[in-house]
Amino acid sequence: MNLSLLAILPLVTAIMIILLKGTKSVRIISLISSTLQLLLAFALLYFYWNERAMGDSAPMLFEDNYTWYAPLHINYHVGVDGISIAMILLTAFVVLAGVLVSWNIGQLNKEFFFLLLLLSVGAYGFFISIDLFTLFFFLEIAVIPKFLLIGIWGSGKKEYSAMKLALMLMAGSALVFVGLIGLYLNTNAGNGQHTFDILQIAQMNIPLPAQKLFFPFAFVGFGIFGALFPFHTWVPDGHSSAPTAASMFLAGISMKLGGYGCLRVATYLMPDAAHQYSWIIIVLASIAILYGAFATMMQTDLKYINAYSSVSHCGFVLLGIGMLTKTAITGAVMQMVSHGLMTALFFAGIGMIYDRTHTRQLSQLGGLLKIMPFISTVFVIAGLCSLGLPGFSGFVAEVTVFMGGWSRADNFYRIATIIACASIVVTAVYILRAVGKAIMGPLASNDYSLLTDAKWNEKWAAALLVIGIVAIGIAPFWLNDLVTPATETIINKISAIIK
Amino acid sequence: MLNDFLYLMNAELLVTIIIFILLFLKLSNEEWKNEGLLNFINFLLFINLAAGFFYIPKGVLFGDMFYTSELITFEKNLLNLGTLIISLQSYDWLKNHKHVPEFYMLLLSTLLGMFFMISSNNLLMFYLGLELSTIPLAALSNFDLDRRRSSEAAFKMIMSSAFSSGLLLFGISMLYGTTGTLNYIGLKTHLTGNPLQVFSFILLLAGFAFKISAVPFHLWTADVYEGSPVAVTSYLSVISKGAILFVMVSVFYNVFTPLAERWYNMIFLISVATMIIGNLFALRQQNMKRFLAFSSIAQIGFILVGFSSQSVEGSSSVIFFILIYIFSNLGAFGVISLVSAITGKEDMNDYKGFYKTNKVLSWVFAISLFSLAGIPPMAGFFGKFFLLFAGAGKGNYSLIVIAALNMVVSLYYYLKVIKFMFMDANEHPIEKIKTHWQPKIAMGICVGGILITGIASGAYNYIHSLLK
């Protein structure tokens, strides 16, 4: 299967949208394209399983390698393993849901869908790249559309948030850039040649001083994307000012670029340094988990609630990576997928409520279950998934991370795990408070009684994400089986060092 | 001999012929209409550009004073391309100007000077070309004849140029004193790195830094850029700097190799100072031309990062970046030049709500700014990546960290302009701009160049193969 299709399809659609005229045709084309993307992602999953069932045990499948800049040893090199496929599926789900949710966007709808599709080009490209340059190229493509999406269609202090987000993410990619260059110059592909190829670098042993120098650059750089404490401050502002689809995209996919990068580039390619610095990662992740949870308790704006809870939940991803055991890293990947779907659903629900009531303040909401049962149910499902109720994906992912963390027989790791576990209680507090206040109780205002429930597009978007969440929650083994072989290759490098 | 002369100097001769045609047009008694004249001149410039690709000469002339090669022809073609784009862009401004032939005569004289400069194989020849390219530029800065600021700009330009030429000449004369030759090849063999030679090299470097407006020799830039007509500003910031950088690449990399250790440190300091100061000043500018002036200072800082690497990757990334810089900066200047020619507005605040009225122009501007900021998939991303990548080749990672963080700072002010255009409301936005097809073509070339040059690796690979 040709992987580049994943990036080419949204790109071609985006170009088509520029040439189209009329609101309707633009959104229909976007819908068709994002549906095709989802089908493509499933086809990829199918072919991948087929290939694996036939006994192909190569670390990356469906590789394509073209020379791009020969004098600089830069190739366009793509390939996928289980982790990438999980992320691609996540992206496809969120893109389709995002397009559906933005169906009725009135102002400049052509530009809106163009930027949305451009973002997905960046995300797909990032997840399929196994050349550091290509990876960085796609990572940066995904930054600027966010700036425009938030700044043009956002709400509140949108310009401030857009600028903050763009600058912080750019600072992140500047650090990543330094890390990648440093990594490159310390590779040795024979005859003093260097390489950007992830698979080749993974076979080499990068000198320890170089690893110790450049691991922080790469990890913190990607960490900024993934809301690493204390660089998470763009998350609340960015998420709450963004239009619904952009929030879904930001929390659902964009933050996962960071987690994926931390895992694939920083940890996989510089395992010694990852091992040495793992305690710092764990401390920061634990702080993020606790701090995010407590900060959420103080929020009164629904979007801020979800944004801060994202900081907390993404802390689990980094915690799982920092634990450096097979189970924990598998859990981290599952948490990325789970959080992506869950938070997208949450933002979709908030967006639907906001479109109708024009407020996101908890104090002005109440009793929505009576007038919009579908939206309220969506909201409750997202909340329950977020607080880790069994049967939904959140539970599966978090438990996997905890088990992985606990399996490190060292008090430090166990204390960190206990702290992370304890945060779930706090999560329950803020989720139940938000749900109770907004959904239950008496109607907050008589004007609300005239409001309508979800339309077809919103229903489909929500249903899609709920299906994903439940599919992982009830049958986690398929995701686990998909991801585990890939985490094994990563962990084999590390466990050799730990022993 | 005559054949050699005709073949090897074909680029220079073509430009000279065009200058003479313009001279005869001016001398004839006929009253020429500006529109027709501009069409004709742009046609000539197009032929001039196209001719450069047909025959690629190689060899030396005038007893080693002048030499040309495939690389040099490529560089000349780049300058031709930039000149054509600027000429197309300034259609709306020149349409109502009284002295069109004079404008082009001066412009092409500077271009001719740059050709000689690039082709020089001797410091004296280089100096000759430099002066030929500088003096008409000062006259061009004064081409908004009824504006005071324009004369002021011209005066500042000629004064600072004279000063930097003085430094250069002093350096050259001392080099002659210590080595006994001005020929590049001779210089290289006689350079020993004694203190007097280092001192004269510093003077030479200061002269160069003046011309490319690197810190601390940048003070003239903003005022001259603001006062000059936009066409001249864009010429100054792209073509003239590009030509000097071409010369720097060949002279520093091939002639001053015995002093490589020393000039690495100098370039390192200059590049860091240039990036930081250019960026900090650009943050607070309100006038579009001043803003681009400071941003171009910062860009020079990035170019010097790549330049400092002293490797083939370094020199090819510098030349590649200039190619991209021609597209990106001229794309941005093209929009400013149109707006300024038609509405007279040059202030950044006037651009608020620009997207509401001028969608296509806003995107052209945005794409150019993104390219300048180094955002993929624009070519600027590749240009900056390769510059910094080459700069890291020496293992000096601190330079790369500084440069990478400076890129973030620079992103702020580029995004600020984008924010003004796309997000801010304005009661009186700039009205819809209707323009001639020629500026449209120029912008098409710029946008096309920005989108293609990076993704398609051909240009870089070609430059790299020329330098090997």
Count of domains observed in chain A: 1
| Segments making up each domain of chain B, as ranges | 2-467
pLDDT in tens, A67-106: 888 888 888 999 888 899 999 999 999 999 988 888 887 7
- Residue closest to B340 by CA, chosen among B437, B253, B251, B227: B227
Cβ-based neighbour number of residue A361 at 10 Å: 12
Is residue A309 scored above 80 in pLDDT?
Answer: yes
Is residue B115 scored above 80 in pLDDT?
Answer: yes
Across the interface, whether the CB atoms of A177 and B375 are under 8 A apart is answered no
Which residues make Cβ contacts (< 8 Å) with residue A253, sequence separation at least 6?
A: A90, A91, A94, A95, A119, A120, A123, A340
A95: left (phi over 0), alpha (psi -120 to 50) or beta: alpha
Mean pLDDT for all residues in chain B: 88
- CB distance from A143 to chain B under 8 Å? yes
Contact predicate B372/B380, CB 8 Å: yes
pLDDT in tens, A349-364: 888 888 888 888 888 8
- Residue closest to A59 by CA, chosen among A250, A227, A160, A197: A197
Question: A74 has which bridge partners?
Answer: A69
What pLDDT is stored for residue A299 in this prediction?
87
How close A144 gets to chain B, by Cα (Å)? Answer: 8
- Residue closest to A405 by CA, chosen among A396, A395, A415, A390: A415
Domain span including residue A317: 5-498
Give the model's confidence band at A442: pLDDT under 50 very low, under 70 low, under 90 confident, else very high: confident
Across the interface, whether the CB atoms of A69 and B457 are under 8 A apart is answered yes
Q: Which of B313, B408, B417 to mutate to test the interface with A (most CBs of A within 10 A)?
A: B408
pLDDT in tens, B342-387: 888 888 888 888 888 888 899 999 999 999 998 888 999 999 999 9
Give the model's confidence band at A498: pLDDT under 50 very low, under 70 low, under 90 confident, else very high: low
- Residue closest to B252 by CA, chosen among B266, B239, B240: B266
Across the interface, whether the CB atoms of A174 and B408 are under 8 A apart is answered yes
What pLDDT is stored for residue B247 in this prediction?
92
User: What are the DSSP calls for A202-265, one per residue?
Assistant: HHS---HHHHHHHHHHHHHHHHHHTT-TTS-THHHHHHHHS-HHHHHHIIIIIHHHHHHHIIII
The token duo for B190 is 């006689």
> What's the predicted TM-score (pTM) here?
0.93
pLDDT in tens, B2-20: 777 777 888 888 999 999 9
| The length of chain B, given as a count of residues | 468
How close B396 gets to chain A, by Cα (Å)? Answer: 10
Across the interface, whether the CB atoms of B385 and A177 are under 8 A apart is answered yes
pLDDT in tens, B60-88: 888 788 888 889 999 999 999 999 999 99
Give the model's confidence band at A236: pLDDT under 50 very low, under 70 low, under 90 confident, else very high: confident
Is residue A391 scored above 90 in pLDDT?
Answer: no
What pLDDT is stored for residue B257 in this prediction?
84
Question: Vertex A229, ends A226 and A234: CA angle to 5°?
Answer: 60
- Residue closest to A133 by CA, chosen among B381, B308, B301: B381
What pLDDT is stored for residue B86 in this prediction?
92
Task: Kindly state the helix (H) or strand (E) to which residue B91 belongs, with its residue range.
Answer: helix B91-94
Nearest-Cα residue of chain A relative to residue B415: A163
- CB distance from A73 to chain B under 8 Å? no
The token duo for A167 is 């600058």
Which residues make Cβ contacts (< 8 Å) with residue B393, sequence separation at least 6?
A: A185, B309, B311, B313, B314
Section A373-379 average pLDDT: 88
- Residue closest to A89 by CA, chosen among A355, A286, A336: A336
**Minimal Cβ distance to A69: which of B377, B401, B460:** B460
Is residue B1 scored above 70 in pLDDT?
Answer: no
Q: Which residues of B touch A (CB under 8 A)?
A: 312-313, 316, 370, 375-377, 381, 385-386, 388-389, 392-393, 395, 397, 400-401, 404-405, 407-408, 411-412, 415-416, 418-419, 422-424, 457, 460-461, 464
**Minimal Cβ distance to B415: which of A141, A166, A171:** A166
The token duo for A148 is 């425009």
Contact predicate A80/A97, CB 8 Å: no
According to DSSP, the β-strands at B66-68 and B59-61 are antiparallel
Q: How far apart are the first and last CA of chain A?
A: 39
**Minimal Cβ distance to B407: which of A141, A158, A174:** A174
Partners of residue A69 in chain B, C-beta under 8 Å: 457, 460-461
Is residue A141 scored above 80 in pLDDT?
Answer: yes
Across the interface, whether the CB atoms of B404 and A151 are under 8 A apart is answered no
